[in-house]
Amino acid sequence: MAILAIHPGAYYHIESFEAPRYAGYFDALVRPEDLPDTDLSAFNVVIIPCRTPVDRMAQHKAQLQAYLDGGGTIVATGESESQLFLPGITFMPQPTNFWWWLTPGADLGVRIAAPGHDLFSRLTQRDVTWHLHGWFDPPDGVEVLAVNGEGKVILYVDEVTTRGRMVITSLDPFYHHGSHFMPATTRFLDGFLPWIRAAYDRNPQQ
């Protein structure tokens, strides 16, 4: 099993990828600019973390498409404008309420859409709830894992757009964990990263 993480180098990426809590989940780290010199087919999974600058990724669109067409898995988290460099993504931004939880009895509305999915043996609804930046209008046939209060998709697995797989979310756990802000994001990564390794522990390009 091999996981490559794109490492843009911001403080929250450094904390998420290099600090002891999660460093062991990543077999290699690469700057976006060094992707052309990287053989993506050597990796089962490529992770593109929250707030990766789109201008550093858009130039690699063809390489990422080829990796997916070869059967690779890409995990892309929020606020990176992934729709500009990954196929089949339609993203709809929404105003973000960062402080909804200060209202007694408030409910952000996030719901697990596939409670029987193995990811949710590791995560609860509370662990996917912090705030929302937007939602997706995904292709028919994807596996929807979580939705917002209006039933719009915020986390899904796409095995229909390419020969590979994309795990796409508008949630931004690496940013908040690395910023030491919002404990739910740390709980999310505590479950999500072990799930990624367990779920996709197979030979690359199969």
Mean pLDDT for the chain overall? 94
CA distance 51 to 45: 19
Question: Band of the pLDDT at 202, cuts 50, 70, 90?
Answer: low
Reported as a single tens digit per residue, the pLDDT across 110-164 is: 999 999 999 999 999 999 999 999 999 999 999 999 999 999 999 999 999 999 9
Report the C-alpha dihedral over residues 64, 65, 71, 73, rounded to 10 degrees: 40
pLDDT value, residue 104 = 86
pLDDT value, residue 105 = 82
* pLDDT over 50 at 205, yes or no: no
* pLDDT over 80 at 4, yes or no: yes
Reported as a single tens digit per residue, the pLDDT across 61-93 is: 999 999 999 999 999 999 999 999 999 999 999
Domain boundaries, the chain: 3-199
In this structure, whether the domain defined by 3-199 belongs to CATH 3.40.50.2000 is answered with no
Highest mean pLDDT among 50-64, 93-107, 192-206: 50-64
* pLDDT over 80 at 6, yes or no: yes
- Which tops the pLDDT comparison, 15 or 201? 15
Q: How many residues can be counted in the chain?
A: 206
